[in-house]
Structure 1
């Protein structure tokens, strides 16, 4: 039988699931009045979706999920959380969900500046273990962190208080992450001068400038590294090379432009910085498994049929 601590953890998870389900009553993704917080519900397992995970904390309250980074799968399920320490191009999908027990989860985007400020003044707990730095890591959701997340979700029912209270709870969550099992991962990306923090800056620049041409030497110089050292650290942090990272950003943005603004493939290719439409189509097909025309037609059909 579960001990008293396990009972508390199970109770906290059940409360979090209930709070999410009250807002996410239907299948889908729900933005909230707290800009950094989104809630998610799926009534069936989903097909893999290409997306960019921002620096943030994902939590599964019910069900299970898989996230694929550079071909390597990471699984997390009810009662577990996933920390992303830098923006990453991933493929994710819900692996366990049903109408009776839907997938319920949340994503809280973390503000890098707040993380850095708090990391500078809050020492890590003496019991926190040093861990190999990875871009994605999974840990059990402890009661204190679950309670803080629950308070953030239930705060949505008090809109007049959100602007004043939400930042305080978000700071508490970051403090708990910095003093808990995620401490090493988060501090490596937040501490000024560390390789992780330098790579995070480059990743931020690439997100804003992915249509531009650049050389590895230029990126390495901006990170104060030699080209070979830069390549090593970039792949270690993001799972892909700088050019692969740029390509994934371009292709995902082109996909969104075709879906949301009805651009044709040639126009989308030019929009995201491709000089050759044929090269764009080849790389798009390798990334998404179908030609741009077939892929967009399939996505629209799934949307119209209500499929997740």
Structure 2
């Protein structure tokens, strides 16, 4: 049966009755609802497919902007520090989104069955916007429908997951999704470097160590890393530190000095300068403004309330 985006939105609304992130019994499948637009949310986005079925969202990676809605989906192929903002939502028509985490093992299996054509080798950042086709919509609907048939999940979830990822990969530009696990170029090396930075971001930055781990010259690593993330390895390292410090101050009541030392800064003054450059306000003023916003209106979309440490997002 051909599904429409309105059918899928009604299903998501039925399962996600309140604002926030709703974890489901289907592995790696979350449903997100928000009845209001949000301010910027800084986060490290893990590899995932984000399919908006009602409303709209904007994501920023470095100075690049990606807008998506029911006509377009977003795929994040690498762990990327992004800024997200829900741009269309209301009580009458809440923002509704399906977020499906991309499993590297499933992706690798698919890659084996889809030999790479060197002429189609993708370039560009690790974010992809694509058109939400009927095939993609139907595959996503089958996956979401499993929520109301839990006995079918063990047998069918993996089949539907594979189909959904297959449809994404076969879509125009979709082979870019495979870069982190397969194919020519340095995608796998960059994925390894990202994982290492996330694991060791509290330690002093060492380009030579990262280059050695990736089996690349430092200049080549810098070039390929920036092509995927739109930032240098050092900028990525700093972004992780600052976002984790912000979380520690907001949710664990650490002072600016405590947060600075927790994420590896030796100089509180340097931390304050870099924090203000990133977030626009000194550390404690920024946190006070964020806390006031959350108290006044509730968590933006459940994402602040469910914020995790940077180290917990490492695969």
Instruction: Mark yes or no: TM-score above 0.5.
Output: yes
Deviation at 1:214, TM superposition (A): 3.5
Structure 2 residue 70 is matched with structure 1 residue 78:
yes
Which of 244, 259, 263 aligns to 1:253? It is 244
Distance 2:51 2:123 in 1: 21
For 1:221, the equivalent position in structure 2 comes to 212
2:77 and 2:180 in contact (8 A); partners too: yes
* Structure 1 stretch displaced more, 31-40 or 197-206: 31-40
Deviation at 1:90, TM superposition (A): 0.7
Where 2:4 maps in the other structure, the secondary structure is helix
Deviation at 1:74, TM superposition (A): 1.0
Distance 1:25 1:270 in 2: 40
In the superposition, relative to structure 1, how do residues 33 and 299 fare at CA in structure 2: closer, same or farther (>3 Å)? Answer: farther
* Structure 1 stretch displaced more, 185-194 or 272-281: 185-194
CA deviation profile, 1:125-165 (whole Å, cap 9, x unmatched): 9xx96653331111111112211211222211233333443
Deviation at 1:261, TM superposition (A): 1.6
CA deviation profile, 1:240-269 (whole Å, cap 9, x unmatched): 110110111111111112222211111111
Where 1:73 maps in the other structure, the secondary structure is strand
Deviation at 1:219, TM superposition (A): 1.0
Matches within 5 A, 1:24-43: 24-43=16-35
Structure 2 residue 92 is matched with structure 1 residue 100:
yes
Which of 12, 15, 18 aligns to 1:23? It is 15
Distance 1:235 1:72 in 2: 13
For 1:58, the equivalent position in structure 2 comes to 50
2:116 and 2:183 in contact (8 A); partners too: no
How many residues are aligned here?
298
Distance 2:115 2:170 in 1: 8
Q: Which runs of 4+ in 1 moved over 3 A?
A: 128-133
Where 1:41 maps in the other structure, the secondary structure is strand
Which of 159, 171, 177 aligns to 1:168? It is 159
Distance 2:111 2:124 in 1: 16
Structure 1: any 5+ residue segments left out of the alignment? 1-7
Structure number with greater CO (CA < 8 Å, separation at least 6) is 2
Where 2:147 maps in the other structure, the secondary structure is helix
Where 1:74 maps in the other structure, the secondary structure is strand
2:196 and 2:210 in contact (8 A); partners too: no
Deviation at 1:216, TM superposition (A): 1.2
Distance 1:164 1:287 in 2: 46
Distance 1:160 1:301 in 2: 43
TM-score by length of 2: 0.88
Where 1:165 maps in the other structure, the secondary structure is helix
Where 1:108 maps in the other structure, the secondary structure is strand
In the superposition, relative to structure 1, how do residues 123 and 193 fare at CA in structure 2: closer, same or farther (>3 Å)? Answer: closer
Distance 1:60 1:178 in 2: 18
Which of 155, 165, 172 aligns to 1:181? It is 172
Deviation at 1:174, TM superposition (A): 1.9
1:83 and 1:182 in contact (8 A); partners too: no
2:205 and 2:237 in contact (8 A); partners too: no
Deviation at 1:183, TM superposition (A): 3.1
In the superposition, relative to structure 1, how do residues 193 and 113 fare at CA in structure 2: closer, same or farther (>3 Å)? Answer: farther
* Structure 1 stretch displaced more, 182-191 or 103-112: 182-191
